[in-house]
Structure 1
Amino acid sequence: MITTQYRNERFSNALNLIPQNIPPIWFMRQAGRYHSHYRKLKETYSFMELCKQPELAAEVALGPVKEFGFDVSILFSDLLFPLEALGMALTYDPGPKLSFSLTSEKDLLKLKSSDEAIEGLKFQRDAVLRTREVLPKDVSLIGFVGGPFTLMTYGSIGKHDGNLSFIKTNQNFVDQFYSILVPLLKQNIELQLQGGAEVVMIFDTAAGMLDPYNFHRYVVDPMNELTKLFPNQIGYYAKTSTETQIKQIHQIPNLAGFGVDHRFSIQETLKNFGGKGFIQGNFDQELLFAEEGTLKEKIREYLLPIKDLNPEERKGWVAGLGHGVLQFTPERSVHLLIDETRKVFSE
């Protein structure tokens, strides 16, 4: 096991369930198209260059930390790179496109072994290393990989949503793909932890569409493997998770924590599932488009019920959004949410 040093005190407290007044803050997609710093870099470099050149990936990740004062930075990368490493050529035009789809056992024969494929992901370790070097010493750093089921959906239908009948009715095929993919994800996570990531998030965009049985088979079972190998270093988030799915995730041993989207009451989630790992979320990211006065009201409406919980009841909370920062989100809104969160919990 790779020993973890938590750099940010608030993030460390959340992971270790130490009660505190002010929560740590980070947002999914905090480095992205809404931010002028990122757009300026994008004028010169392609998305692939920004991800794969460690100096550039570090600069992208550093930008929002300097601008907004996030407690945690996240590796700038893309969850589809394991598919590319396996031999599925990946382009962005502007969205992701893979060179072929996984629709038969014959397609699986085109894939590299995990030991071959991991060579194509070592740039992520280098990017984490470089990001750690440029970040302030009191800012934590996390990595991420795509969840196996989400990578399966992208590999077979080219997107994270749509008709999943092929996947749901061909379990042997999925099992064969998982036998290649899951070992690669284990190696991928280890690379990021070696580089200095304190936690690696599993972003499982497509998993919310699964029924409880298939969620256990395609999500919980591989997650159990990952958390056994990397205890208390793996976090999980799936957009549109159901309460049943959250219950299943909560039961995974040695999970560092999980995030919920804005459809959940964060205070009820803390009451029902707190005390085992961090719980992140979950201000509605679409509200960030409101004009300043309205947004401030919405932020207070969201935060004050959480503040009614005492520090013991809200221990483990990591403040964030229900999903990622949307393109065209006003930067002033990001500033306001962060500033108001710290203000409310310091009052």
Structure 2
Amino acid sequence: MKDTTNFPPLKNDNVLRAARGEPVDRVPVWVMRQAGRYLPEFQEVRKEHDFFEVCQTPEIACEVTMQPLRRFDLDASIIFSDILVIPQAFGMTVEMHPGVGPVFPQPLDTPADLAKLTPDGAVSRLTYVGDAITMMRHKLDGKVPLIGFTGAPWTLMGYMIEGGGSKTMSKAKSWLENHPEDSKKLLSMLTNGIVDYLEMQVKAGAQMLQVFESSAEHLPKETFLDIAVPYIKQIRDDLVERLDSQGIPIVPMVLFAKGAGHSLKEQSKLGYDVIGLDWTVDPIEARKEVGPNITLQGNLWPEDMYKTPEEIRALTTEMVKKFGKTRYIANLGHGITPKTPIVSMETFVDAVHNAL
């Protein structure tokens, strides 16, 4: 990583101000997966490059990170990467199969397979993400803040055991039941790697961080609080302690636990500045649960982006008015889907900015 101390001054800091609870001149908006398959220019890049080649080549990662910012009046960028780079850094093979998604040819089958993982020095195998972050900060020229991210331990554990995405997570849940101590060992191993990874991202220039617990929906509330939450809290606490000890300011942190609307009050006590909401959560009820001192992010249903521009504008305006202008970052309730029309994204961003 080079030149991490001489970044251009930030011109639009509304996302960071909203995360800290400071006044904003307009409601900020960004979209999960805003750099990706719905953009024709991204599809052109993918014709020439494998998915993980894009992630692992800073120049290409920066190009696709910049693509949505050229089209839309967004208030943040998020570095193009993938949550599964951590299992890769732990020594597992991950392939991206067209029409299928990520595939692990050799998933973790039994606890004995934990011995095959190589967590020591994993962050040194992820320096390409830090290099892309640093490069992107300069390419942005202060236009908007840059967000870094990671998958959360339970979500990563699920992929590593299931061998890819799963609608049931039955194998991973079986580990929790039949191998509780080994499950905790894996979750702890991942947590330590994630803290290293996020520390590296902050040092590289990330101005906000998001932790994706995308598989929270597969756990009932009691299990989510018992299995996932302690490690989510440890990530935040250990990262803050580590950065503080080096005199490095902590950046705002977002927790997005998809399907965990049942435990917003508990999430609000974990130290994260922002709680991301999926589309199943009512904004007014969410505010009651988390209180006035947490920023909320979300939460339009991604499928609504296939409706007419007039419908999208109405739904987005209604959403923003429910959340209000204070401590709010507009987003979808999950990642934008591959066939979303460009005009829908244009309408959504414009509607957010003009709703209040």
TM-score clears 0.5:
yes
Gaps of 5+ in 2: 241-249
- What amino acid is the match of 1:108? L
Aligned residues: 335
Paired residue for 1:165?
173
1:293 aligns with 2:310: yes
Partner of 2:246: none
The code of the aligned residue for 2:65 comes to A
Distance 1:328 1:194 in 2: 35
1:137 aligned to which of 114, 123, 142? 142
Determine if the alignment matches structure 1 residue 235 to structure 2 residue 244. no
TM-score, normalising length: structure 1: 0.90
Distance 1:6 1:201, change over 3 A: farther
1:193 has 2:202 as partner: yes
Cα gap change, 1:271/1:9 in structure 2, threshold over 3 Å: closer, same or farther? farther
Partners of 1:57 and 1:127 within 8 A in 2: yes
Q: Distance in 1 between matches of 2:204 and 2:294?
A: 23
Partner of 2:23: 19
**Distance between the aligned counterparts of 2:318 and 2:187, measured in 1?**
43
Q: 1:324 aligns with which of 327, 335, 344?
A: 335
1:96 to 98, 102, 119: 102
Match of 2:156, SS state, is helix
Worse-superposed segment, 218-227 or 158-167: 158-167
Find 1:222's aligned residue among 211, 216, 231: 231
How far 1:148 sits from its partner (Å)? 0.2
What does 1:1-347 align with in structure 2 at a 5 Å threshold? 8-20=12-24, 22-94=26-98, 95-115=101-121, 117-158=122-163, 159-162=165-168, 163=170, 164-169=172-177, 170-231=179-240, 233=251, 234-243=253-262, 245-252=263-270, 254-306=271-323, 309=324, 314-345=325-356
1:11 is paired with a residue whose SS is helix
Which AA in structure 1 matches 2:345?
V
**Partners of 2:176 and 2:261 in 1: CA distance:** 18
- For the structure 1 residues 230 and 8, does the alpha-carbon distance in structure 2 shift closer, same or farther, using more than 3 Å as the test? farther
Confirm or deny: 8 A CA contact 2:261 2:280 kept in the other structure.
no
Q: Which runs of 5+ in 1 are unaligned?
A: none
Query: Quick check: 1:161–1:206 contact (8 Å CA) kept in 2?
Result: no
CA separation in 2, counterparts of 1:274 and 1:337?
27
Question: Does the 8 Å CA contact 2:133/2:204 hold for their aligned counterparts?
Answer: yes
SS of residue in 2 equivalent to 1:175 = helix
Q: Go from structure 1 to structure 2 and tell me whether the alpha carbon gap of 1:144 and 1:168 turns closer, same or farther (over 3 Å shift).
A: same
2:125 maps to amino acid: G
| Distance apart, 1:274 and its partner CA | 4.1
Q: Percent identity?
A: 27
Report the CA distance shift for 1:118/1:21 in structure 2 as closer, same or farther (over 3 A).
closer
Distance in 1, matches of 2:181 and 2:78, equals 35
- 8 Å contact kept, 2:10–2:142: no
Deviation at 1:271, TM superposition (A): 4.0
